[in-house]
Structure formats: C-alpha cells, structure tokens
Structure 1
Amino acid sequence: MIELKGVTKTFGSTIALDNVSINIPEGKIIGILGPNGSGKSTLLKMLVGLNKPNHGNIFINGQQIGVQTKSFISYLPEIDYLYPWMTIQQAADFVKSFYEDWDENKYKELVEFLELQPSMVIKKVSKGMRAKAKLLLSFSRNAKLILLDEPLSGIDILTRDKIIETIIRDYRAGDQSILITTHEVREVEGILDEVIFIRRGQIALEGNVEELRYQRQASLVEIMKEVYTHETI
C-alpha cells in the first residue's frame, strides 16, 4: 500500500530521513518505533503531505501524495491541534465538512464508548479527554489509512487503555491500515502486526512482530533495546 523509494528529508543540516526505501503492507497495524529525532513523525507528515521529500518518491496505492491520497487518510498529529473554543460537536462538524467518509453512526458510538459529551468545550477538559477527542475525530471516518503520531504520549494509564481499546474496536482487519508512532511499546505490543525501527533517519530493523519475537526469543521491548543499545530511548 505504501512505498518509499530513496526518500531523503532534511531540515537545514539535519537529516530526518536518509535514503529510505521500504514497502509497508496493506491491512496491518504497524508500529513505527524509535527514539526522539529518529524520523518517525517526519515520515507520517510526508505520508499526509505536510512535508515533502528532498529526494525520492512516496506512493500510496500506486499514487503519489496529493488530493486523491489525502481523501482516504486520517491523520492524528502529536500536537494539540483542536480549536480550544470549540465543543466536541463543533469540532466533529468541522472535520465532517471536509471528508465524505465521515460515519455519523460510528461517531455517536465512539462518543459513548470514549465517555465524552458532545457539549464539552475543548479548552475546559483534561489532557486525557482531549486525547480521546482527537481519537474520536480520527476514527469517526471510514479511512483506508490511519496515521497516529504518539497517541499515548503524556496521558494517564486509564486513558491509554481506552485508546488501545478504541483502536482494536474499530480496526477493520485486512481492509484498513494503521501506522502508530509511539514510545509506549509495552502498551501497543499486543496489537501490532508489523514493526519498523527507525534509527537516525534509516531503517534499523523491520518485520512481522511474531516472527521477530520467535527468531530472537525476546519481547518487542527487548528487541527495541537491542536495536538501540547505543541510543537514548
């Protein structure tokens, strides 16, 4: 589904991604793992068209990044992007106006499942509630590709559990792809099908999670420690 061919992205003298070539399979939940500054978020931003590569090409379903690919991608950035003055319902109406794949029934089900109220004002709720609101907006679409950038960052353990439950609950296996960047490897290990470790802008290791665990006789956390032995995680 996703193909990177010799992709390099720089910011001044900093190399965020360094000649990366990789095929990311369709219909899987894929973890993009690595320490801060390894290039994880840059990769997701390029897939959604927010950043453009200096060199190389990116294809999604055989198409280069553009209007057509954006129409079936749901992107949840790490930053708190919601307008603080909006209610959750107003934020939902705003997102709905841009995307034809918005599913109102799914939205209503998720509002209840995530224990949110449409009348809640964004600036008046906790960080955990805002994290769930962002997830609500991302998963209320029937998007073929969902990109989640550090969805568990800086929130309490109960909210993390609810977010993981939501991903499992709404994932359409085989028909939908989810890419997750995160430091919270233990929390997501049980839901990942594939994993890509990025180190200093390059692919350090990739593969099927079950196969990697079997080959190395180690958990994903232990494998990550091996990959980044000389890195700060």
Structure 2
Amino acid sequence: MAVLECKGLSKRYGHTQALDRVDLAVEPGRIVGLLGPNGSGKTTLIKLANGLLTPSEGEILVCGMKPGKESHALVSYLPERTSIPLWMTAGQLLDFYQDFYKDFRRDAAEEMLQHLDISPKQRIKQMSKGTREKVQLIVVMSRAAKLYLLDEPIGGVDPATRDYILSTIIGNYDPEAAVVISTHLISDVEKVLDDVIFINQGRVMLQSSVDQIREEKGMSVDELFREVFKC
C-alpha cells in the first residue's frame, strides 16, 4: 500500500487554484523529491497530507486513511519555518517530544545533538538560525514515523550543515517508511533521492525514479528540472 496517495486532488484559495487534479503515489522505502519553483503547490500538498488543510476536491490518503487523528500518529512534519518554542532548552524540547509522541526515539535524538556539539542545556533562543534548523530536524527525524514530510529542510543552511542534514535523513528512517522532501535546491538533494515529482502551477508534470531519468534522458535530475522549468 502507498504511504501517501492523491486521487484527483485539488485545492483552491478563493479564485486561486493551488493544486489541480493531482494524482500521485509515494511507496514505502522511498525518498521522494517534491520539486518545483516557488509557488508551485509544494507546501499546499504537504499541508494537506499533514491535515492542516482540507481538499477542495478529490482525496488524499496517508497509509490508506484520510488525514486525521489516526494518520497524525504516522506523520512527522518539518515545516518550512522553524516552529520550536524559543524559551525551551534542547533537552526540554526532547522531553516535550517524548511526552507527545509514543514513537519518539530519544536515544537517537541525544546521539545527534552530541554529534553536533549542541548542549541539552542550551536555550533555543540563544542558538543560531542554522543550529535551530538542525535541532528541529533532529526531533522530526527521531520519530519512528511512516511518513516524513520535510518542507525546505536545507533552505537556509551552509553546505556542511546541508550534508549533515541529508545524511541524517538517510540514516534515520525505517525502510518501511517514506520521506518526501520539498525543495527547489535540486542539485543538493539529488544524491539522496530515489524518486522525483515535478510540480508546477498546481499540476504534476512528471513522476519518475531518479535512475529512470538518468537512463532514459541521459541527464541529472537538476539538468532535467532546468529544462522543464526554463523561463
């Protein structure tokens, strides 16, 4: 069964069509790049999968269920903007996640904090923007979820941090789970992706495996993206 499935999914905000009859499926064990220019519908799709928005038409299913209380327990979501409470210390944030999520693997989170030399006693307010982003990603990836929805996880961080974040994503998810990474920084994430979904103006332009693109088109995902979306 697909971890995430959309059937004729549409979303409108007033007269603006954010998603237009989207059909797609994300299978277990895959890292999928949701790729498109800014304003293409990526964040809307992620918010629908997380139950933060409701469809205008069609349906979206997480592990065969409509987004709701049961599916929330299976989804780990990283929003585009850092949303962790600034007054907490890193350790208090781990306490909070442990209380809130039954599937939170505290040992994994502590190991990653230690690897990055982030003290559990340090207040999030005192951290740099990049460090806050790392901490938020650590708690999101330390859940044993079935679907990880990561909205621009590498948007504002330096190349070294970017590499660490990508290795964290690869090393911390269950083979039965799926990871959806929404980004426009294709060349940076391409090496970790199994599949890609190109989206533009609310429509799916392409859904393919990375291997298929390289074999059939003889180009990288980044090269194909530039060709499909050239101005």
The letter for the 1-side match of 2:6 is L
Partner Cα distance (2:117, 2:31) in 1: 25
CA distance in 2: counterparts of 1:167 and 1:3, whole angstroms = 22
| Matched residue, 1:47 | 49
Q: Residues 45-78 of structure 1: CA distance to partner in whole angstroms, max 9, x if unpaired? A: 1101001111111111211111111001100001
CA contact (8 A) 2:11 2:19 kept: yes
Q: Which runs of 5+ in 1 are unaligned?
A: none
**Deviation at residue 114 of structure 1 after TM alignment:** 3.1
Q: Which residue of 1 aligns with 2:20?
A: 18
- The aligned residue for residue 187 of structure 1 is 188
| Number of aligned positions between the proteins | 229
C-alpha contact (below 8 Å) 2:19/2:201 kept by paired residues = yes
Q: Does 1:62 align with 2:61?
A: no
Task: Indicate the residue corresponding to 2:106 in structure 1.
Answer: 104
2:226 maps to: 225
The 3-state SS of whatever aligns with 1:162 is helix
Match in the other structure for 1:199? 200
Contact 2:26/2:178 (8 A) holds in 1: no
Q: 1:172 aligns with which of 171, 174, 177?
A: 174
Q: Is the 8 A contact 1:144 1:177 kept in 2?
A: yes
Cα separation, 2, equivalents of 1:103 and 1:171: 11
Taking the aligned partners of 2:115 and 2:159, their CA distance within structure 1 comes to 17
After superposing on structure 2, the runs of 4+ consecutive aligned residues of structure 1 that deviate more than 2 Å are none
How far apart are residue 183 of structure 1 and its match?
A: 1.6
Q: Deviations over 1:161-194 (max 9, x none)?
A: 1111211221333x11100011211111111000
CA RMSD of aligned residues (A): 1.1
1:63 aligned counterpart, secondary structure:
coil
TM-score (normalised: structure 2): 0.96
Counterpart of 1:40, as a letter, is K
- 2:171 aligned counterpart, secondary structure: helix
| Match among 105, 122, 125 for residue 124 of structure 2 | 122
Alignment match of 1:157 (pick from 142, 151, 159):
159
What displacement does 1:126 show?
Answer: 0.6
How high is the TM-score relative to the length of structure 1? 0.95
Report the 3-state secondary structure (helix = DSSP H, G, I; strand = E; otherwise coil) of the residue aligned with 1:75: strand
Post-superposition offset of 1:124: 0.8
- Aligned with 2:226: secondary structure? helix
Contact kept? 2:146, 2:174, Cα under 8 Å: no
| Matched residue type, 1:177 | A
- The alpha-carbon deviation at position 106 of structure 1 amounts to 1.3
For residue 140 of structure 1, what is the aligned residue in structure 2? 142
Per-residue CA distance 1:88-126 (angstroms, 9 max, x = gap): 111221222221101122122122223321111111111
Alignment partner of 1:77 is 2:79 = yes
* In 2, Cα distance between equivalents of 1:99 and 1:189: 30
| CA distance, structure 2, for counterparts of residue 34 and residue 20 of structure 1 | 14
- Contact map agreement 2:32 2:197 (CA 8 A) in 1: yes
